[in-house]
Amino acid sequence: MKKILLAALLAGAMCSPLAYGGGCSHVEAAEAVHAGVRRDAETDNLLLVNKTHKLPDDYEEKVDLVTVKNCFGKEFQVERETYKHFLSLREDLLKRGIQIELESAYRSVARQQEVIEELRATEGEDYVKKYAAVPGYSEHHTGLALDVAVVKEGRPIDDVYGTWETPYQKMHRRLAEHGFILRYPPGKSAITGYDYESWHCRYVGREAARKIFLQGLTLEEYLLGGRETQNMQGKYGSAAYWTKRNPAGEKELSDTEMKHLQEEMRHQNSLLVDMESFPAEVTAEYIKEKIKVSRDNYLWFEPDNIYENGVPLTKERCRQVEENCVPESLLARQTVKFALTTCRANLRYLPESEGWYEAPHDTHYDLIQALTLYPAEPLAVLAESRDKKYCFVQLRNYVGWVDKTEIAFVDHDKWLKYAAPQDFLVFTAGEKRINLGDGSNLLFQMGARLPLKKAKVQRDGTWLAVVPVSVQGDVVEKLVSIPADKTVHKGWLPYSENNVLRQAFRFLGELYGWCGLEEGVDCSLFTADVYRSFGLDIPGDAVEQRTAMPMRKDIEKLGREGKLEAIGSCRPGDLY
C-alpha cells in the first residue's frame, strides 16, 4: 500500500455453547464492584495475551470492572471503558437490525482454573488441551475480551457459513468503528493459536482497531508493525537513509520555477484550475463537459457487474442515478456559486452516496468515489443535481459531486480568504486531527491549509488559525490553536528532491483508503498530497496525473531491461 508507494516516488476464549432462554429487555449496568487503578489506554488496550504471552501477575489488581447484565438476566464483569464501547456497538447494530448480547466477558485466573477442572471432569483431558486456555494465558483475564451472541427472535443464533453474509459477519464490519477487533479471524490460527471464533471480540481502541481491520491483521501482526511496515523497517525504512545518499537533493526550486511548472501542468490538463481567478460565470457547455468527464470516470468500470448493498445494480436504478446528473435547467451563461467544505467530504463521480462495488460483499472499493475533500477546501459550485441534494463542483484539481450537507455557501470575498490566503498554515503530516474545543474535531491530511489569524507563533507555542464550520448551513469561522510542531508549516514547503522524500515517508504506517475512504489515502491521493504540500496541484486521479506531467516516458512497450533503465534514470520526486 503506502509502503509500496514510497518506492514509486523515489487469547484465547474457550469454545462455550450459548445457553440462554427467555425474553429480551435492555442491557442493565450496575455499580462498579471493583474500582482499581485506572488503566493507561494507550498501553493496556494493546496488551497481548495468548498461548505464549502470559497475563502480568499484578494486572488483575488494576482492572476497573463494572457488573452488568445481558437481556437474559445473566451477570458479567467487564472492564469499564470496554463496556461503554460495547454499548455503542450494540446501539449501532440495533439500528441496522442486528441485536447482540454479551455471552462471556471477564474471567479471573482463579475462575479459569475452576473452568479447567470442570471441563476436565466432563469432557476429558484431550478436550481441555485442545480448546481451553491455560489459566493466566486467556484474553478474558484482561476484561477487554468479550464473547458476543447475535440474538434473533429472543434466542441466540449460530454463525453458519453460506453463500450469504451472516449477521456475525455484518457485526464484524462494524467492530472497528467502536474500537473492537475480531480477535481470532479465519485463516490465522497459525498466528493466534486459535481457530476462527466469530463471537470473540477484543477492545483495542478505535485507531488500532481500524488499522488492524483495514490491513487484515491480527493483534500479533499489528504489534509487530504490520506486514508492510515490517518490510520497511531497518535502514531502508527512513527518509534519512535516502536523503543522505542524495546530497544534491537539497537544491530548492524558486517560486518562479514552481509557478512556471504549475502553469505548464494546467496547460496539459484542463482539470487543473487557478481557483483564485475562477470566473463568476461559466457556459452551460463547460458544465455539461465537466459532468461528462466525471460520469465517464465511473464508466471506466463495467456497469453490468455492479452491486449495491450486496445485490446486483439494476438498469433502472443506474438510469435513475444518471438522470439525476442532469440539472433541471442551465442558462447559456451560468452564475458560479462559491462554497467551502466544512468537514472531510466525499467527492463522487455521480450524485449518489450509496457505494457501488464489483463484488457483493465489498465495502472498501466504491466505484463512484472520486476522492476526498479535506475541511476548508474552496469549491466553485457549477450546478445542482436534479433532486437538489448534491452540488456539482470544480475544485483546484478535479470535478465531481458533493453532498450539500458537507459544504456551506459563502460570498466571494470570504471564499478568497481560503482560495488565496495571505498567511496560511499547511499540514505536513500524513494526517492531523484538530480539536475544535467543543468535543468535535476535524481530520486534515497532508497539503490541506488553513488561513492564519496571526502571522506569528503565539506565546504559548501555537499557531492561531481559522476553520470554517457549518451552523445551520451558514459558515462560522472558528479560531483554533495548533501546536507549532513538525506536523505543520507556515506557507508551502520548499520544493526539493529530498523534501519530496521526507514528505513521502510521513505516510509510512498510515492506512490505505480507496480514494480517501475510511480516513485513508490511496496511491493517487498519496501522490497528490505530497506535491500539494509544496503548493503544486496535480489531478486527484492516477490516469489524469499522467496526462498533466510536462515530461512523460512511455514504458509499456519496453522490455524488462528497458523499463529498469527508464526507472533508473528518474530522480526522486519525478512522476512519470
Provide the annotated active-site residues: 197
Torsion sign over Cα 305, 310, 316, 320: negative
DSSP symbol at 137: S
Task: Characterize 488-501 residue by residue with b for buried, 16 or more Cβ atoms within 10 angstroms of its Cβ, and e for exposed.
Answer: bbeebbbbbbbbbb
The CB density around residue 8, as the number of other CB atoms within 10 Å, is: 14
Question: What CA–CA distance (Å, rounded) separates 517 from 325?
Answer: 22
CB 66 within 8 A of CB 33: yes
Q: Give me the helix-helix angle, 523-532 and 497-505, nearest 10°.
A: 130
Question: Three cell numbers at 412?
Answer: 466571494
Q: Which helix (H) or strand (E) holds 77?
A: strand 75-79
Nearest CA among 99, 62, 78 for reference residue 29: 78
User: What is the rounded CA–CA span in Å between residue 322 and residue 352?
Assistant: 9
d(C-alpha 96, C-alpha 90), whole Å: 10
Cell triple for 550: 510536462
Nearest to 509 by CA among 227, 264, 306: 227
Helix intervals (H) in 299-366: 315-323
Closest C-alpha among 542, 566, 565 to residue 554: 566
Residue corresponding to grid cell 495468548: 50
Phi first, then psi: give them for residue 393, nearest 5 degrees: -130, 150
In 217-368, which ranges are E strands?
A: 281-283, 307-308, 311-312, 333-335, 337-341, 345-348
Q: What is the DSSP secondary structure assignment for residue 375, as one 8-state letter?
A: T
Between CA 98 and CA 192 the distance in angstroms is 28
| CB < 8 Å & 24+ apart, contacts of 472-479 | 473/408, 473/409, 474/408, 475/340, 475/342, 475/408, 475/409, 475/410, 475/414, 478/436, 478/437, 479/453
Rounded to 5°, the CA angle 464-466-469 comes to 140
How far, in Å, CA of 9 to CA of 574, rounded?
7
Cβ neighbours around 438 below 10 Å, total: 8
Q: Which three cell numbers stand for residue 391?
A: 452540488
First CA to last CA distance, the chain:
19
Instruction: Write down how long the chain is.
Output: 576
**In angstroms, what CA-CA distances link 360 with 357, 483, 508, 516?**
7, 44, 31, 21
Element (H, E) at 491: none
Task: Please give the Cα distance from 222 to 214 (Å, whole number).
Answer: 11
